[in-house]
């Protein structure tokens, strides 16, 4: 194992919420509130072209006509959208640093604390990292090596400047600006995020990774990620998230769009560790995210893997539109809710092309008073001859005050479709615990071992280093869950 | 080495053990026999620290330590091993990971250094070979999808890896084919030593042909009602348990 992985391990071992520190940095933050002037100011600050501003304004006007969805199985106080600041940047970022050496050392220190040293020489070999701190991207490592392969990996703001034709061609084509309430809000005010472009036939030479961190009080984070894989290309992308520990709730409403053309493959992994709130349910991140992949080309493949241990409230359904013939969509998910966390998560698989296949493996773990819902839709359109879906949905309960709910929806318009669905709900049994303890394994280690076993099918989909991180995260998230 | 005095235990409102006395000296193998439902598994699980039972009276000491005050994991580190009558499945957790965590957790509790990955692997492989098991089983989930006999054999493998001081084997012979029974018996005999003691819970003479007991006890109605030498097991095989209760009644 590399040093970096050990850093991450050491990091996640700190307890209880190790990423909960606040960085004292002089920040330039727009006053709270949202109107067209704020959007114009934000766009001007980022020096955006007119088309980008127009996109934002269109989305904003649509958002004004929309209502916050209430169908999810989650409860939280009403969000005051005028009480949030929509832009915050560390002041030193204003004169954009040309290289990492010019980045404020305090920022770099923050990321080192998180186990993400930005200095390339210290980096885990083979992983390029883009980091987003509040609203702006701080720096992208390994840029040169990627450029040699023709891969573009940069912040979305930079892409708007440097590759406007690509951004304009794909932005909003998977998640339209008016798709849903949060997506419309994001389209209006998104501040930064990552952009990835893999040219035809290229296998991206390394894992790409983005870390998002919310630091400022009362700011929302609205990041926007766009990944385009041209014909025959491959890419594996990992997203990690943290936020400081604060008593107020903070809003995070991201949009992620993936486009896979003929024979292209995109693997998108998330290890989400936003601050979940304390044991009484105070504070924590509201995580309302729209993630969608478009298998636009024949034989293309998009695979979502997510490990969700954080956030106070999660509303998230990474989806695949299987447009190309013989395209494949996959969703592997582990979601853990502890204390007062609530999660309503799942996926949508939309079968459009012929011989399209999808696999859904969802593992939900609830402990304490955690409430969790799996919500999954499998839709097979008339055009989708021979569509196949396999859905497996397992829930594990720890204690008797938590809950697991399953809402599977299917809409089949083509009789050749074959769907398989399996669902189980189990408790960590006293017998299993006693068995492990009678061999000398302590109670908490036994619980985390049994939970890891439960999640194995999903963890094996993660890149090795992150599988280790995910296991440790589960372990600390479950502390105090028994006994 | 193991001293049980006047042990009373209940589950819910039901008394199961009603004043059980038993002493096993270091180096000895004792067989515990008795009718179904007489409390043999209850006794075994209480020794390992199961929280399903409430001990209402009595004392259990291992090497002078009071076992009843200790958690299951502390007892394991102190050398107690229970071969379960019904071994439990832990899906997704490989036997390898399980054994390594168990061994290192015990060593840590005892203040011994944890085993290096390489040393551990060599050690486990050696034991797997001894039990004539397929090394591929190490990467399968703990007892996951194992047949009844395979599960029992896996219990002995775990025992050989952990090298306990007190081996409590609850019907490890049930469900084994003839060859497997021999392998299991060899496994038990391999750990027989002047520093260890064994409690064999069994219904059949078969296992005792391979693992010669020093003493045989009959547990009935929550107490030891008769103790004797190896010949007692033969007698039971011939006559069953009826004559004992008649004898007691008389
Ligand atoms: N959790 C429980 N709840 C209720 N009764 C129990 C429980 N556990 C054990 N018993 C009862 O206690 C008695 C002793 O059970 P135990 O399993 O110790 O018997 P045993 O001697 O091992 O029998 P066998 O030879 O069939 O394995 C039985 O009557 C059983 O039904
Ligand atoms: Mg029994």
Residues of B in contact with A430 (CB under 8 A): 51-52
Residues of B in contact with A454 (CB under 8 A): 91-92
CA A389 to CA A363: how far, in whole Å? 17
Least distant ligand from the CA of B17:
1
CA angle at A177 for the pair A173 and A178, rounded to the nearest 5°: 120
Do residue A440 and residue B141 have CB atoms under 8 angstroms apart? no
Taking any CB pair shorter than 8 Å as contact, residues of chain A touching chain B are 429-432, 434-443, 445, 449-450, 452-457
Ligand 1 site, CB within 6 A = B 11, 14, 16, 34, 36-42, 52, 85
Kindly report the number of other CB atoms within 10 A of residue B35's CB atom: 17
Sequence-distant (6+) residues with CB within 8 A of A215 are: A22, A23, A25, A27, A88, A110, A133, A134, A243, A244
Residues of A in contact with B88 (CB under 8 A): 429, 431-432, 434-435
Distance of residue A338 Cα from the nearest chain B Cα, in angstroms: 22
B2-247: CATH class: alpha beta
Do residue B101 and residue A437 have CB atoms under 8 angstroms apart? no
Distance of residue B52 Cα from the nearest chain A Cα, in angstroms: 9
The arithmetic mean of pLDDT across residues B19-34, rounded, is 95
- Report which protein residue has its CA nearest ligand 1's atom 10: B11
Residues of A in contact with B48 (CB under 8 A): 434, 438
- Report which protein residue has its CA nearest ligand 1's atom 29: B37
Q: What's the confidence (pLDDT) of residue B211?
A: 94
Q: What's the confidence (pLDDT) of residue A124?
A: 40
CA A16 to CA A276: how far, in whole Å? 11
Q: How many angstroms is it from B37 CA to the middle of ligand 2?
A: 7
Q: How many angstroms is it from B21 CA to the middle of ligand 1?
A: 19
Sign of CA dihedral B30, B34, B39, B44: positive
Residues of A in contact with B101 (CB under 8 A): 441, 445, 449
Q: How many angstroms is it from B35 CA to the middle of ligand 1?
A: 11
Q: What confidence tier does B78 reach under pLDDT thresholds 50, 70, 90?
A: very high
Do residue A434 and residue B50 have CB atoms under 8 angstroms apart? yes
Name the pTM for this structure: 0.77
Question: Which residue from B9, B13, B15, B41 has its CB within 8 A of the most atoms of ligand 1, so it is best to mutate?
Answer: B41
- Report which protein residue has its CA nearest ligand 1's atom 13: B37
CA A321 to CA A337: how far, in whole Å? 28
Do residue A440 and residue B162 have CB atoms under 8 angstroms apart? yes
Closest by Cβ to A453, choosing from B73, B77, B93: B93
Sequence-distant (6+) residues with CB within 8 A of A239 are: A209, A210, A211, A212, A225, A256, A268, A269, A270, A271, A272
CA B61 to CA B67: how far, in whole Å? 5
The arithmetic mean of pLDDT across residues B139-150, rounded, is 93
Closest by Cβ to B77, choosing from A430, A440, A457: A440
Q: How many angstroms is it from B14 CA to the middle of ligand 2?
A: 16
Q: What's the confidence (pLDDT) of residue A193?
A: 82
The arithmetic mean of pLDDT across residues B221-249, rounded, is 83
Please give the helix or strand (H or E) that residue A302 lies within, else none. Answer: strand A301-308
CA B39 to CA A312: how far, in whole Å? 48
Taking any CB pair shorter than 8 Å as contact, residues of chain B touching chain A are 45, 48-52, 71-73, 75-77, 80-82, 84, 87-93, 97-98, 101-103, 105-106, 109, 141, 158, 162
- Report which protein residue has its CA nearest ligand 1's atom 5: B11
Closest by Cβ to B102, choosing from A432, A434, A441: A441
DSSP bridge pairs for B43: none
Q: What's chain A's average pLDDT?
A: 79
What does DSSP assign to residue A86? S
- Tens digits of residue pLDDT in B49-76: 999 999 999 999 999 999 999 999 999 9
The full set of domain ranges for chain A reads 15-478
Crossing angle of the two packed helices A50-64 and A36-45, in degrees rounded to 10: 150
ipTM of the complex: 0.96
Residues of A in contact with B76 (CB under 8 A): 437-440
The arithmetic mean of pLDDT across residues B72-100, rounded, is 95
Sequence-distant (6+) residues with CB within 8 A of A122 are: A3, A4
- Tens digits of residue pLDDT in A149-207: 999 988 888 899 999 999 999 999 999 999 999 999 999 999 878 899 999 999 998 88
Say which residue the tokens 């809000």 belong to. A185
Crossing angle of the two packed helices B117-130 and B148-162, in degrees rounded to 10: 130
Token reading at B236: 């039971």
- Tens digits of residue pLDDT in A29-58: 677 788 898 899 889 988 999 999 999 999
Q: Print pLDDT tens along chain A (483 aa).
A: 333 333 333 333 333 455 545 555 455 667 778 889 889 988 998 899 999 999 999 999 999 999 887 776 767 778 788 887 777 665 555 544 455 555 556 555 655 655 554 444 344 444 555 665 554 555 556 677 788 899 998 888 889 999 999 999 999 999 999 999 999 999 999 987 889 999 999 999 888 877 665 555 555 678 899 999 999 999 999 887 555 555 566 677 889 999 999 999 999 998 777 666 666 666 677 778 899 999 999 999 999 998 887 666 777 889 999 999 999 999 999 888 877 777 777 899 999 999 999 999 999 888 877 778 888 899 999 999 999 999 999 988 887 777 888 888 999 999 999 999 988 887 787 899 999 999 999 988 898 899 888 888 888 888 776 777 777 777 766 766 664
Do residue B73 and residue A443 have CB atoms under 8 angstroms apart? yes
β A234-242/A328-337 pair status? unpaired
Q: What's the confidence (pLDDT) of residue A11?
A: 34
Q: Could you tell me where the DSSP H helices lie in B148-239?
A: 148-162, 178-191, 205-210, 231-239
Q: What's the confidence (pLDDT) of residue A439?
A: 98
- Report which protein residue has its CA nearest ligand 1's atom 17: B41
Closest by Cβ to A445, choosing from B50, B92, B105: B105
Q: How many angstroms is it from B249 CA to the middle of ligand 2?
A: 25
Residues of B in contact with A334 (CB under 8 A): none
């Amino acid at each position: 194992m590399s040093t970096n992985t050990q850093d991450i391990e050491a990091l996640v071992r700190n307890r209880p919420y190790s990423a909960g520190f606040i960085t004292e940095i002089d920040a330039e933050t727009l006053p709270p509130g949202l109107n067209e002037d704020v959007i114009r100011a934000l766009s001007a600050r980022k020096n955006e072209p007119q088309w980008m501003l127009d996109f934002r304004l269109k989305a904003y006007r649509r958002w004004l006509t929309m209502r916050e969805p209430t169908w999810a199985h989650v409860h939280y106080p009403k969000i005051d959208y005028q009480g949030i600041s929509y832009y915050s940047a560390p002041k030193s970022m204003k004169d954009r640093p040309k290289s990492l050496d010019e980045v404020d050392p305090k920022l770099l220190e923050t990321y080192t604390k998180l186990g993400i040293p930005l200095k390339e020489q210290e980096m885990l070999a083979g992983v390029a990292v883009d980091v987003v701190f509040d609203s702006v991207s701080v720096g992208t490592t390994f840029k040169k090596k990627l450029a040699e392969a023709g891969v573009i990996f940069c912040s979305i703001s930079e892409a708007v400047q440097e590759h406007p034709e690509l951004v304009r061609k794909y932005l909003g084509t998977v998640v339209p600006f008016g798709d849903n309430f949060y997506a419309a809000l994001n389209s209006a005010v998104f501040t930064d995020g990552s952009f990835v472009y893999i040219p035809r036939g290229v296998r991206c030479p390394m894992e790409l990774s983005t870390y998002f961190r919310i630091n400022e009080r009362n700011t929302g984070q609205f990041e926007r990620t766009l990944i385009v894989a041209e014909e025959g290309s491959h890419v594996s992308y990992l997203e990690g998230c943290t936020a400081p520990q604060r008593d107020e709730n903070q809003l995070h409403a991201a949009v992620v769009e993936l486009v896979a053309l003929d024979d292209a493959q995109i693997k998108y992994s998330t290890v989400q560790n936003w601050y979940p709130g304390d044991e009484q349910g105070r504070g924590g991140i509201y995580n309302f995210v729209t993630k969608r992949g478009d298998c636009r080309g024949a034989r293309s493949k998009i695979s979502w893997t997510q490990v969700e241990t954080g956030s106070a409230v999660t509303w998230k359904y990474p989806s695949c539109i299987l447009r190309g013939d013989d395209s494949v969509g996959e969703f592997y998910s582990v979601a853990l809710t502890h204390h007062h966390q609530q999660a309503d998560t799942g996926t949508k698989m939309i079968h459009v092309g012929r011989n399209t296949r999808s696999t859904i493996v969802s593992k939900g773990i609830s402990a304490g008073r955690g409430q969790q819902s799996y919500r999954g839709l499998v839709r097979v359109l008339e055009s989708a001859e021979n569509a196949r879906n396999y859905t497996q949905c397992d829930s594990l309960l720890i204690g008797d005050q938590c809950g697991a709910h399953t809402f599977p929806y299917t809409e089949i318009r083509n009789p050749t479709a074959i769907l398989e669905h399996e669902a189980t709900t189990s408790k960590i049994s006293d017998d299993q615990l006693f068995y492990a303890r009678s061999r000398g394994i302590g109670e908490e280690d036994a619980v985390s071992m049994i939970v890891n076993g439960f999640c194995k099918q999903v963890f094996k989909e993660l890149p090795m280093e992150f599988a280790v991180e995910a296991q440790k995260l589960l372990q600390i998230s479950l502390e105090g869950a028994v006994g | 080495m193991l001293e049980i005095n006047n042990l009373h235990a209940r589950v819910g409102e039901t008394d199961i053990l009603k004043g059980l006395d038993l002493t096993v000296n270091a180096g000895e193998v004792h067989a515990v026999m008795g009718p179904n439902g007489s409390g043999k598994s209850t006794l075994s699980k209480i020794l390992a620290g199961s929280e399903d039972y409430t001990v209402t009276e009595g004392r259990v000491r291992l090497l002078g330590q009071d076992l009843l005050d200790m958690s299951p994991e502390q007892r394991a580190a102190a050398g107690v091993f229970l071969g379960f009558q019904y071994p439990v499945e832990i899906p997704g957790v490989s036997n390898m990971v399980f054994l390594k965590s168990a061994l290192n957790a015990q060593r840590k509790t005892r203040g011994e250094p944890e085993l290096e990955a390489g040393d551990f692997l060599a050690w486990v492989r050696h034991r797997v070979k001894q039990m004539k098991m397929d090394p591929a089983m190490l990467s399968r989930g703990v007892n996951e999808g194992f047949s009844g006999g395979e599960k029992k054999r896996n219990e002995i493998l775990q025992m050989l890896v952990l090298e306990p001081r007190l081996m409590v084997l609850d019907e490890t012979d049930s469900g084994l084919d003839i060859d497997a029974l021999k392998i299991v018996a060899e496994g038990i005999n391999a750990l027989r030593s002047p520093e260890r003691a064994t409690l064999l819970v069994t219904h059949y003479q078969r296992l005792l042909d391979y693992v010669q007991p020093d003493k045989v006890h009959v547990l009935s109605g929550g107490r030891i009602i008769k103790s004797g030498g190896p010949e007692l097991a033969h007698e039971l095989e011939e006559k069953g348990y009826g004559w004992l209760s008649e004898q007691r009644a008389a």
